[in-house]
Structure 1
Amino acid sequence: MKVGSLFAGIGGIDLGFQQAGFDILWANEIDRDACKTYKLNFPETKLFEGDIRKLDAAKLENVDIITAGFPCQPFSVCGNQKGFGDDRGNLFFEIMRIADAIEPRIIFLENVANLVKHDKGRTFNVIHNELVSRGYYLRYLVADACDYGIPQHRTRTYLLAFRSVEECESYRFPERVKLEKRIFDIIDKSVKVDDSFYLPQNTLKYTKMANAITDDNQIYRFSDYGIQKSKDGICFTLKANMGTWYDRVPIIKDYYGIRTITLDECLAIMGFPKEFRIADILLKSAYKQLGNTVCVPLIKRIANQVNSWGLR
């Protein structure tokens, strides 16, 4: 089955579908740095760079599935929650515009967990009604990545809309997977990284973190409420504000000192394969892209279920 990707970012959703055997024909993304990374990893996909509001649907090939990890800030409890009152929230209707032109068999949406509760459920009701009015039948799941084998608490809403009621009724979201790995099964503390990642010992930041680290097998981060500590070796949600405030990048204590985690380690915590590459962009921009992406193994499991239930 063929896929078209909106709000593609660095390609986390696309990679999950690709790993499940789907062909990604085209993608759209506005962020220039995200586009650089996307092109590096999806050289065969036609990438339309720019604002989705200027995307000409007539130039897009027909696809079976449209995917969209549309902007989450308007609906997140960490944002101002303006929802459709935020210009970014209104971009959902651009997905509908493209869907009207292509009429895909399936639409896959990903957003924050709070999407279903935002504005006392009215926001989700609008999304539901927009899809139903176009003849789609819906299934959705609110899931934490750590319940699907990924050592990160990242709770998100996943929504699948089907043209066929039979396909909708036959689809099942993947079963939960026992968590076998923890943070330091992914991050090797015995490997020394570049010196720039280590906190200088003569700084207040180092002193505060050194005093806070009571368990070397947990991961830490500065937050609005002090220093945050993980539990059970499961990383807290990697956020886009890692690129806005560098001190929000998670911190660990390895065999050589106290340091922030690297880009490769962020990718690993998100479940990206080792061969995935980040383009040569500013570090803060790279952290932002990683906080905005998805946990690839969970997307792959959701996409695999489309195949496993005979929806071909």
Structure 2
Amino acid sequence: MTVAKPKVCSLFAGIGGIDLAFAQAGFEIVWANEIDKDACKTYRHNFPDTILSECDIRKIKASSIPDFNILTAGFPCQSFSVCGNKKGFEDERGNLFFEIMRFADEKKLEVIFLENVANLTEHDNGRTFNRIHNELSERNYYIRYIIADACNYGIPQHRTRTYIVAFKDFDMCNKFKFPEEQPLKKHIFDVIDRSIRADDKYYLDEKSVQYQKMKAAITDKNQIYRFSDYGIQKSNDGISFTLKANMGTWYNRVPIIKDNFGMRTITPKECLALQGFPATFDFPDIPIKSMYKQCGNTVVEPVIKRIATQLMLVIGDFFDNN
């Protein structure tokens, strides 16, 4: 019997970027977990019908979760990122990967989908990725993975990530193919509308030093800019640089554009647009710094949707949803 909607359990769900992608591909998200309180508010705002457990994953018994077919996890990446401390499994956050393995052991999962930074494969001279690969292989999973930049899949942002899909069934793994790259047809200002005036709070004060520095730096109004550790960073070819979670820590790291009304930071909704989220996805009443942090922590939704769509194609008769 062909499954209409295989069931998904989402760990480290964040605001639900992976969940949205899988739902749009035809999966049913039956349960999710996230520890960040503001991210949970955003998740519930957009997924009112999904059970969301707001707590430390280490305190959850897998046996207490509704049955599901597929586990997804965008597990914490700071331990592996070139922008983080790169401690890997020596960092408590890196060790949270083994919570995923605990769920796999207890629930006897058929498919696992993982997302992390591109540096995951290179961290510690490849030993970190080998450990992840071995942990899955020792549980008799067959593995496919890809390192993909969002701009090669139709999204005007350089955001390179590692995507891993692990299967218990060899035939399913053999049939699965990652989506092919596609030409980039949209650029930054096909996503951000400069003709619409933003709220006054986003515009730089013309008397500020920040304004004067950025005014001198903006030589191409078709690019996006931001202050960085190395001065002012500028995008190239109308493709945004990677949006980072530190936008929520240092407000001056939020990208800046020149629109029809002045120079301003891009809004949280525009950040989501550069991550490929639909306009219907919105934030509840939470601090703006949390919105920016969430935007930098989430995923490029259309890339994962295409992967999930490919996964749906190979599932066929493997699962029975009854």
Q: What's the TM-score bracket when you normalise by the shorter of the two chains?
A: over 0.9
- 1:212 paired to 2:217: yes
Residue 166 of structure 1 aligns with an amino acid whose one-letter code is D
Residue 61 of structure 1 deviates from its aligned partner by 1.3
Deviations, residues 108-164 of structure 1 (Å, cap 9, x unaligned): 000000000000000001100111111100000000000000000000000000001
Give the one of 225, 228, 234 matched to 1:229: 234
Q: Could you tell me which amino acid in structure 2 is paired with residue 181 of structure 1?
A: K
- Segments of structure 2 that go 5 or more residues without pairing to the other structure are 1-5, 318-322
TM-score (norm 2): 0.96
| Partner in structure 2 of residue 238 of structure 1 | 243
**Which residue is equivalent to 1:254?**
259
1:79-104 per-position Cα deviation (integer Å, ceiling 9, x unaligned): 11000000000000011111111111
- 2:201 is matched with 196
1:170 maps to which residue? 175
Give how far 1:78 is off: 0.5
Give 1:298's aligned amino acid: V
- Give, in angstroms, the shift of residue 58 of structure 1: 1.4
Match among 65, 78, 84 for residue 70 of structure 2? 65
| Amino acid corresponding to residue 52 of structure 2 in structure 1 | L
Counterpart of 1:249 in structure 2: which amino acid? Answer: V
Q: Does 1:108 align with 2:116?
A: no
Kindly provide the amino acid, as one letter, of the partner of residue 62 in structure 1.
D
- Counterpart of 1:82, as a letter, is K
Equivalent residue for 1:90?
95
Alpha-carbon contact 1:62-1:104 (below 8 Å) kept: no
2:29 to 3, 24, 29: 24
Q: Please, which of 285, 289, 307 is the counterpart of residue 284 of structure 1?
A: 289
Whether the 8 Å contact between 1:167 and 1:311 is mirrored in structure 2 is no
CA distance, structure 2, for counterparts of residue 205 and residue 93 of structure 1:
44
Distance in 2, Cα, partners of 1:100 & 1:310:
21
Secondary structure, aligned partner of 2:99: helix
Distance 1:130 1:120 in 2: 17
Between the aligned partners of 1:37 and 1:171, the Cα distance in structure 2 is 32
Structure 2 counterpart SS, 1:272: coil
Q: Matched residues in 1 for 2:315 and 2:70: separation?
A: 15
Aligned counterpart, 1:38: 43
CA distance in 2, matches of 1:280, 1:136: 42
Instruction: Please state how far the C-alpha of 1:310 moved relative to its aligned partner.
Output: 4.5
In 2, the alpha carbon distance for the partners of 1:57 and 1:172 equals: 30
3-state SS, counterpart of residue 116 of structure 2: strand
Partner of 1:81: 86
Aligned equivalents of 2:161, 2:315: Cα separation in 1? 26
Aligned-partner SS, 1:309: helix
Q: Could you list the per-position Cα deviations for residues 160-183 of structure 1 after superposition, in whole angstroms to 9, with x for gaps in the alignment?
A: 000011111111000001100000
Distance 1:217 1:38, change over 3 A: same
SS at match of 1:184: helix
Structure-2 separation of matches of 1:307 and 1:57 = 24
Q: Does 1:132 align with 2:137?
A: yes
Report the 3-state secondary structure (helix = DSSP H, G, I; strand = E; otherwise coil) of the residue aligned with 1:26. Answer: strand
Report the Cα offset of residue 309 of structure 1.
Answer: 3.1
Which whole-Å CA distance do the structure 1 matches of 2:169 and 2:61 have between them?
A: 27
**Partner AA of 1:154 in structure 2:** R
Counterpart of 1:15 (choices 14, 20, 27) is 20
Structure with the greater relative contact order (CA < 8 A, sep ≥ 6): 1 or 2?
Answer: 2
Q: Which runs of 4+ in 1 moved over 4 A?
A: none
Amino acid at match of 2:113: F
Q: Specify every segment of 5 or more residues in structure 1 that has no aligned partner in the other structure, as ranges.
A: none
The one of 277, 301, 318 equivalent to 1:296 is 301
Instruction: Give 3-state SS (helix, strand or coil) of 2:136's partner.
Output: helix
Q: How far, CA to CA, are the matches of 2:192 and 2:216 in structure 1?
A: 22
Aligned-residue CA RMSD (Å):
0.7
Measured against aligned partners, the alpha-carbon deviations of 1:11-65 in whole angstroms (never above 9, x if no partner) come to 0000000000000000000000000000111111110111011112111112110
